Structures are given as C-alpha cells and as structure tokens.
Amino acid sequence: MATLYSTHCGSCSVGGSYSSSLSINGGQNQWLALSSSSPWRVVPSKAKVVLQSRRNSHLNAVLMQDGAVAARVTPIENETPMKKPKAASLSVPSSQECKDAVGFNINENEPTVSITVVGASGDLAKKKIFPALFALYYEDCLPKHFTIYGYARSKMTDMELRNMVSRTLTCRIDKRENCDEKMEQFLRRCLYHSGQYDSEENFAQLDKKLKEHEAGRVSNRLFYLSIPPNIFIDAVRCASSSASSAHGWTRVIVEKPFGQDSESSAALTKALKQYLEEDQIFRIDHYLGKELVENLSVLRFSNLIFEPLSSRQYIRNVQLIFSEDFGTEGRGGYFDNYGIIRDIMQNHLLQILALFAMETPVSLDAEDIRNEKVKVLRSMRPLQLEDVAIGQYKSHTKGGVTYPGYTDDKTVPKDSLTPTFAAAALFIDNARWDGVPFLMKAGKALHTNRAEIRVQFRHVPGNLYNRNFGTDLDRATNELVIRVQPDEAIYLKINNKVPGLGMRLDRSNLNLLYAARYSKEIPDAYERLLLDAIEGERRLFIRSDELGAAWSLFTPVLKELEEKKIVPEYYPYGSRGPVGAHYLAARHNVRWGDLTVDQ
C-alpha cells in the first residue's frame, strides 16, 4: 500500500481537463506534466509520489501490485466512504486492472457518478436542479458515466419523472444545436425511485438500483437534499447507512435553511456529522454560484485600482440590496417560520459581504478562502436591535388590480409579525473596515426585482470642483455598483465634464454591461454549484464554522425581535418599502444608492 500525497487538493478531488503534475521522490526536476492526452506514466516501485491536481483537473492514479504507481489525467476520485479515513490512499487493484491501465485500456476503471435528487417531486428540483443538470450535460460537463435518480415519496414511473422534468428543461439561447436530441439522451439517464425519507430499506433498494447502473465501476455518489429541513437528518442517516458508496466518494448537498438560529444550526451540524465528515457536506448558498458574486474576488484581487481603495480610508459605506417584486406566493408556509432576515440576510447577503470584505486569501483553495471569510465574520459586531428596521407588505390596489398582503396568504397566520422586509446596519471591527457601515436591505413585494452591491466612496478632499456640485456633495462621490441581477453589470459612477465651452459637471457611468460585452449566456448558479460538488470543489459552499459565525451575528437580534414582538412597519405591495429603512440609513449618514435610476 503506498500513500499518494496531494499537495494541492488534500483528497485529490477532480473534474474537468486542465493540467496536473506528478513528482517522484520529491525531485524538483522530476515533475511529469500530465494532461488529458498524456499516456500513463509509470513510477518506479517504492517511490514517494506526489500528485498535484489543479482545480478542474481529473487525476487518475493506479497503484500497481509491485508498488509502482501509474498516473494520468482523466476522471477518477479519491475513495471516500461515507465516513472517510483522513489519509487518502489507494488500495492495490487487480493485476488485470493494472495491465489495462498501463495498456491504456482503462474503461472498467473509469468512475461513475450517481446523482440522487432527494425530494425530486418538489419545486426546487423541477425549477432548478434538473435544469441545471441538463445544462451541465449539454455542455459536456458531466462525467461520461453518470446516472441521475429522482427519489421522493410520490409514486412515479421513470417515464413520469421524465415527463415532469422535460417540462422545465430549456436550452441556452446561444446554444440550440441538437438541443432536442440532447434532451432525450439526458432524460434517458434520469430514473426514479419512490421511497420514504426515513426508510433504510427504501434507500437500500435505491442502492441496489444504483449498483446496477454503476456496473462494477468505482462509484461516486452525490445526494442532493431538496427536501424540507425537518427531514434532512432522516434522509442523511438512511443514505449513509444504506446507499453510500463502498468504493468511491459520497457527498451530500444540503439546502438552506441550515437551522433557525445558532442553537438549531449547531444541532443540525452535529447531527449531520454523526453520519458525514465535514468535507462530505456541501451546504449550498446559491448566491455564491452567481456569476457576479464569483467575480467579486476577481474584481478586487486582480485589479490594482480596486484593492488599494478597499478600506475605511476611501469607502464611506457599502450597501447590499435585494428586492423582489413578488410576495411569498406559494411559499408562505415556509417563509412564516423564517422571515426575510433568515431567508436572505443571514445567508445570501452576508456571504456577499464576507467575500467583499475579506482579506486576501493565501490562495484560491477552498480552505484558504473560507478561512478568510470566517475571519471577517468573526470580526463583525452582532447586529443590534437599534440597527434594524423591519416591514411587512400589505394589500395594495393599483391600476384596478389588487395585490394580496402577506397575511392574506392562507398558510400565514393572520396575526403574523414575520418581516418580509428588513434593513440593517452591520460593522466590521477590524483595521480595514472600522467604522464603515455595511448596510443591508432585503424585501419581498417591492417595486423592483434586483440584487446589487453598492460601494459609495468618500468625498474628494479639497475638491477643486466642489462649487460645481452645489450643496449636495454626496451626489458627487464615486459609486461602484455590482449588479448581480437582473442584467448583470459592473459600473462606476464618475464625475465628468459635460462637453461644451462651459464648465458643467455631470455624473456618468463607466459601464460594463455583461449582455453587451459577452455573447455567452450566463450559467445558472445551480449549474456551477452542482459541477463544483461533483468535482469536490468546496470553495463556494459554506463550512460549519462559517455558518456558526454567521448565525452568531443574527441570533441575538432575531430573538429580541421575536420576544419583544416588534411590530413591522406595513408597506404597500409594489412600493419601495417602509420609510424606517431611510431613517436607519440616515442615522449612519447613508443615503440608499438605489433611489435613483442609474441606467
């Protein structure tokens, strides 16, 4: 038994087709470049072998009976049972497999990925997960051998599942070639198993079916928990005991909500860890998979002009804004137990804040990035009641149409005080951000649909042109806007001379509008995240300590709001939300940047 040391990815997780390299006996000059087209490299017996795998690279290594290692880049995974041993090592495969490997005939050694969507009959599965899997298939991003299983209690045949799924599959606008054919091929790989979420027997039946499809290959298994949170643990327990992979990795994607406060979240983490190692848990926050959220680090850390300005010295405030122009229609039952602070702020907006405000990570490795996020979250002050304003939408009639109020939803108690809107001011008590208000605003049933980050810069000291701005100096400061959705864009508001003989200044935008700059359609967040989970890339998933730090910031204020039964300010459906948000901002010398139309 020889140990494979991975210098880059710990457990050597893989996917894609970039280069990797391999060194023998630590020799600097003995790195062998590996690429998907390279032949197998055979390493001498008893050599200490280091495999280095870049993100998105498939690394395949086989230990031969005489102790030598054959390696090349192609899909393979570390062998991760549900509770995986800490050291990654390879067991000696049969001599036939070794011969095949060296003789380039490695088919039976190629791993397979089985993706089980638990809760396949539900809204998220239909709306997001199956379409994302199809998009990955269409783009040839899924491994060659894969099977998708839908699992839920509803009785359905494979054909019925396919019919259900086919109704939500679409092809990208820019890629329609062979779309129908690809859809059919994809649907043929989708199967269904009906079972209870707490039945080990039902999961064992699933296991049997998965094995048939895996046909003796190294089997990697991904379970996507697309079910209500109260059944997460049952499903994980059963999947773990009866359907985890014996010879490959097993990973579980867990959907939010991850608890309701620090206590319940810690209990959920503890329960999950009874059955899974931390590195098998992929807590999804789909905002981390959004293109512009991923771009935040690129913008800051690869552009000299932004990084030096990212501090209290130059930034007056940062605003994280989420608004939806529809209410909780259809999800009122879920929403009433959570409210907007838990639904949007504690996760999506806080994650964006952490990525925006973190220090430069040591590298782009998942753990380095997550370490920095944890550091910044731990430097934050828990949110205070006086720094929060809450609201709830009420019915409103406009143009002869009556829009329902939040409590008109039959699944919501008539006397519910659950906020559907909140504004909050948060602070990071570290050297970089001391005193800079980070304002969050999130609401449902507002006048617009939008998610954006607004960075307002300080005034130019001794500005020669002050008198050209009149008294409203705030309006003359620079503002960087990162519009996450819709119409992804990054623009910088600058002051500019209006062309002509006079000296008149106006505010103009240096504008990067994605639709104009890039012809490629932007992938859905779920595509990126599913692909990462398959590849074992954890960068965009939430680690348990990160989650704990996030809950610590919001739990005290949530408790206070609920214990004191604070009544939300009512705002009409389709409005800009309660005025309380403006008072809150004003107390911190901030004016919300989304009050004027920029474009």
Ligand X SMILES: NC(=O)C1=CN([C@@H]2O[C@H](COP(=O)(O)OP(=O)(O)OC[C@H]3O[C@@H](n4cnc5c(N)ncnc54)[C@H](OP(=O)(O)O)[C@@H]3O)[C@@H](O)[C@H]2O)C=CC1
Ligand Y SMILES: O=C1O[C@H](COP(=O)(O)O)[C@@H](O)[C@H](O)[C@H]1O
Active site residues: 348
Give the one residue of 77, 200, 214, 343 binding ligand Y; rule: CB under 6 A.
343
Q: Which DSSP string corresponds to 279-327?
A: GGEEEE-GGGGSHHHHHHHHHHHS-TTTGGG-STTTEEEEEEEEE-SS-
Smallest distance, ligand Y to C-beta of residue 286, A: 6
Shortest reach from residue 285's CB to ligand X, in Å = 9
Q: Can residue 124 be called a binding residue for ligand X (CB under 6 A)?
A: yes
Q: Which does 523 bind (CB under 5 to 8 A by kind): ligand X, ligand Y, none?
A: none
* Site membership for ligand X, residue 281 (CB under 6 A): no
CA distance 428 to 379: 6
483 binds, among ligand Y, ligand X, none (CB under 5 to 8 A by kind): none
| Lookup result for tokens 């045949």 | 157
Between strands 315-323 and 438-443, the pairing is parallel
Residue among 256, 290, 348, 528 that touches ligand X (CB under 6 A) = 256
Helix (H, G, I), strand (E, B) or coil at 439: strand
Could you say whether residue 268 binds ligand X (CB under 6 A)? no
Considering only the stretches 123-131, 134-142, 166-174, 564-572, report the one whose residues sit in contact with ligand X under the rule CB under 6 A: 123-131
Distance CA 295, CA 287 (A): 12
Identify what 343 binds: ligand Y, ligand X, none; CB under 5 to 8 Å per kind: ligand Y
Shortest CA distance to 265 belongs to which of 276, 274, 257, 254?
A: 257
The residue with tokens 């379409």 is 131
Q: Residue 221's CB: how many other CB atoms inside 10 A? A: 26
102 touches ligand X by CB under 6 A: no
Which position among 16, 67, 93, 122 is part of the footprint of ligand X (CB under 6 A)?
A: 122
* Residue 276 token pair: 């899974």
343 or 488, CB closer to ligand Y? Answer: 343
Beta carbon of residue 424, minimum distance to ligand Y (angstroms, whole number): 17
| Shortest Å, Cβ 459 to ligand X | 40
CA 86, CA 96: separation in Å to the nearest integer?
28
At position 184, the amino acid (one-letter code) is E
Q: Which does residue 438 touch among ligand X, ligand Y, none (CB within 5 to 8 A, set by kind)?
A: none
What is the contact mask toward ligand Y in residues 273 to 302, using x (rule: CB under 6 A)?
A: -------------x----------------
Interface segment toward ligand X; rule CB under 6 A; list 37-45, 252-260, 274-282, 494-502: 252-260
C-alpha distances in Å from residue 143, one per residue of 36, 75, 149, 187: 14, 7, 15, 16
- Cα–Cα distance for residue pair 308/312, rounded to 1 Å: 11
The site string for ligand X over 322-361 (x = CB under 6 A, - otherwise) reads: ------------x---------------------------
Rounded Cα distance between 134 and 119, Å, is: 17
Positions in the binding site for ligand Y (CB under 6 A): 286, 324, 343, 451
Positions in the binding site for ligand X (CB under 6 A): 119, 121-125, 152-154, 197, 226-229, 231, 255-257, 334
